[in-house]
């Protein structure tokens, strides 16, 4: 059984480890502890109730007026394709809508996954310039090969 809840400080090491595993494969950007602490309120975690292990994470980052990014999605490989990633995204969308977010976007290498949740592919140019602020720190900048997707 999996419980979905907001992240707490006690989760930071596990969130870091989960993201670092995928970052080492080049499918996600690493998130240092400092960034995780600063953005902890953005995170939802999936916790296996029996073991208290964090098996999935995701975050919602407010970017602009009524616009937010679904980011940092990672599900433990041993728990993949069980609907955990989808459940995290749905919780993030619910949270965003409660704040009045009208449009969600994501930059991803997994369009199939986000497609099942109603996201559709768009051009990067259609997103506000503001969203590229953090991209300057990305090792891939300016040759971003992620796919931009939105959900209105």
Ligand X SMILES: CC(C)(COP(=O)(O)OP(=O)(O)OC[C@H]1O[C@@H](n2cnc3c(N)ncnc32)[C@H](O)[C@@H]1OP(=O)(O)O)[C@@H](O)C(=O)NCCC(=O)NCCS
Interface with ligand X, residue 116, by CB under 6 A: yes
- Please check whether residue 115 is in contact with residue 80, taking contact to mean a CB–CB distance below 8 angstroms: no
Task: Give the integer Cα–Cα distance in Å for 53 and 17.
Answer: 12
Candidate segments 9-17, 60-68, 76-84, 131-139, binder of ligand X by CB under 6 A:
76-84
Among residues 101, 104, 108, 151, the one that binds ligand X under rule CB under 6 A: 108
Among residues 90, 103, 110, 124, the one that binds ligand X under rule CB under 6 A: 110
Candidate segments 21-29, 60-68, 94-102, 118-126, binder of ligand X by CB under 6 A:
21-29
Q: How far is the CB of 107 from ligand X (least distance, A)?
A: 7
Interface with ligand X, residue 53, by CB under 6 A: no
Give all strands of the β-sheet with 120-121 in edge-to-edge order: 2-6, 43-48, 54-64, 67-75, 103-108, 147-151, 120-121
Interface with ligand X, residue 15, by CB under 6 A: no
Task: Give the integer Cα–Cα distance in Å for 58 and 136.
Answer: 22
Task: Give the integer Cα–Cα distance in Å for 126 and 93.
Answer: 21
Interface with ligand X, residue 80, by CB under 6 A: yes
Interface with ligand X, residue 84, by CB under 6 A: yes
Interface with ligand X, residue 4, by CB under 6 A: no
Interface with ligand X, residue 44, by CB under 6 A: no
**Tokens representing 109?**
């290498």
Task: Give the integer Cα–Cα distance in Å for 39 and 68.
Answer: 14
Q: How far is the CB of 116 from ligand X (least distance, A)?
A: 4
Q: Which one, of 94, 71, 72, 105, lies nearest residue 4 by Cα?
A: 94
Binding site for ligand X (CB under 6 A): 22, 27-28, 73-75, 80-86, 106, 108-110, 112-113, 116
């Amino acid at each position: 059984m999996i419980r979905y809840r907001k992240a707490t400080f006690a989760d930071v090491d596990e969130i870091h480890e989960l993201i670092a595993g995928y970052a080492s494969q080049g499918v996600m950007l690493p998130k240092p502890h400092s960034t995780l602490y600063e953005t902890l309120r953005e995170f939802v975690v999936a916790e296996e109730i029996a073991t208290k292990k964090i098996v999935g994470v995701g975050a919602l980052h407010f970017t602009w007026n009524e616009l937010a990014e679904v980011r940092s999605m990672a599900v433990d490989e041993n728990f993949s394709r069980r609907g955990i990633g989808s459940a995290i995204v749905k919780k993030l969308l619910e949270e965003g809508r409660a704040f009045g977010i009208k449009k969600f976007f994501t930059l991803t290498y997994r369009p199939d996954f986000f497609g099942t949740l109603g996201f559709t592919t768009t051009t990067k140019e259609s997103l506000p310039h503001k969203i590229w602020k953090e991209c300057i720190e990305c090792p891939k900048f300016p040759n971003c090969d992620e796919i931009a997707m939105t959900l209105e």
